Amino acid sequence: MTGMEILLLVAFGGVMLTYILGRISSSLRNTFAVVLSLVLVVIIALMYDKTGETIFYRGFFGIPMVLRINSLSWIFAMTISFIGCLSVIFSLDYMKVKERTSFFYAMLLLVNSSMMGIVLAGDLLTLFIFWEIMSWSTFLLISYNGGPAIAAGMKYIVMSFAGSMAMLAGIISIFTAFGTLQISEIAAGMSSASSGFKIFIVIVFGIAFGVKNAIWPFHAWLPQAHAEAPSPFSAVLSGVLIKMGVFGFILTMYVVVGLGTYMSLGGAIFSVRSILLVMGAITILVPTFVALLQDDAKKLLAWSTIAQAGYIMLGIAYGTSLSMAGGVLHFLSHVVFKSLLFMTVGAVEFRTGGIRDLNSLGGLIKKMPFAFTGTLIGVCGLIGVPLTNGFVSKWLIYKSLIFGSPLLTFVALFGTWGTVLYSYKLIHNIFLGQLPEKLKDVENTPLSMKLPMIILSFTVLLFGILPGLPLRVINKIVVSLGFDSLNISLWGIVSESGMLNMINLFAAILAGLIAVWLFLRIGARTIPVKQDDNYAAGAAVPRDRYNYTVKFYDPLLRMISPYLRDIFDTFYMKIADLTGYLSNGIRKIYTGYVGNYVMYIVLFISLMIFVQMKWSPW
Partner 1 sequence: MHIIEFIFSPLLALLIGVFFLGLARKVMARIQWRYGPPVMQPLIDIIRLLSQKSASHGVAFNIGLVMSLAGSLVITLFLPFGKIAPMSNSGGMLVILYLMLIGPLGMAISSGESANPNASIGISRKLLLAMGYELPFLLVVLALMKAYNTTSITEIVSLQRDTGWSMFTFPLVLSGIAYLLILPAMLGVRPFEVVNAPQEISSGPLVEYGGPYLALATLQHALALFIGISLFVNLMWGGAANPVIFFLKMLVVFFLGIFVNAVFPRLRIDQAIRYLWRWPSLIAFAGLILVCVTGS
The footprint of partner 1 on residues 525-564 (CB under 8 A) is 525-529, 531, 533-535, 537, 546-549, 552-553, 555-556, 558-559
* Closer residue to partner 1 (CB): 54 or 547: 547
Identify which range of 75-83, 264-272, 294-302, 498-506 contacts partner 1 by CB under 8 A: 498-506
Name the 3-class secondary structure at 57.
strand
DSSP 61-117: TTEEEEEEE-HHHHHHHHHHHHHHHHHHHHHHHHTTTSS-HHHHHHHHHHHHHHHHH
Identify which range of 129-137, 226-234, 477-485, 521-529 contacts partner 1 by CB under 8 A: 521-529
* Closer residue to partner 1 (CB): 520 or 589: 520
Q: Where does residue 162 rank: exposed (0-12), middle (13-18), buried (19+ CB within 10 A)? A: middle
* Closer residue to partner 1 (CB): 251 or 380: 380
* 8 A C-beta contact, residue 236 and residue 108: yes
Q: Shortest approach of partner 1 to residue 321 CB, angstroms?
A: 18
Per-residue b/e over 515-538, b at no fewer than 16 CB within 10 Å?
eeeeeeeeeeeeeeeeeeeeeeee
Q: From the list 28, 165, 172, 509, which residue makes contact with partner 1 (rule: CB under 8 A)? A: 509
* Closer residue to partner 1 (CB): 180 or 547: 547
Binding to partner 1, residues 370-429 (CB under 8 A) = 372, 376, 380, 383-386, 391, 395, 398-399, 402-403, 406-407, 409-410, 413-414, 417-418, 420-421, 424, 427-428
Alpha-carbon gap, residue 467 to 506, rounded angstroms = 12
Identify which range of 232-240, 312-320, 507-515, 602-610 contacts partner 1 by CB under 8 A: 507-515
Q: Shortest approach of partner 1 to residue 517 CB, angstroms?
A: 5
Q: From the list 20, 499, 602, 608, which residue makes contact with partner 1 (rule: CB under 8 A)? A: 499
Alpha-carbon gap, residue 399 to 460, rounded angstroms = 21
Using CB under 8 A, count the residues that bind partner 1: 73
H-helix or E-strand containing 522?
helix 502-522
Q: Shortest approach of partner 1 to residue 394 CB, angstroms?
A: 8
**How far are the Cα atoms of 179, 187, 188, 477, 493 from residue 258, in angstroms, in the given order?**
19, 7, 9, 14, 26
Q: Shortest approach of partner 1 to residue 476 CB, angstroms?
A: 25
Q: In sequence order, what are the beta bridge partners of 52?
A: 69
Question: E strands of 321-419, at which residues?
Answer: none
Q: Shortest approach of partner 1 to residue 299 CB, angstroms?
A: 20
* Closer residue to partner 1 (CB): 236 or 392: 392
* Closer residue to partner 1 (CB): 312 or 387: 387
Q: Is 365 in the site for partner 1 (CB under 8 A)?
A: yes
Binding to partner 1, residues 424-453 (CB under 8 A) = 424, 427-428, 432-435
Q: Shortest approach of partner 1 to residue 326 CB, angstroms?
A: 12
Alpha-carbon gap, residue 290 to 181, rounded angstroms = 41
Binding to partner 1, residues 345-364 (CB under 8 A) = 363
Alpha-carbon gap, residue 339 to 137, rounded angstroms = 19
Alpha-carbon gap, residue 46 to 295, rounded angstroms = 44
* 8 A C-beta contact, residue 284 and residue 412: yes
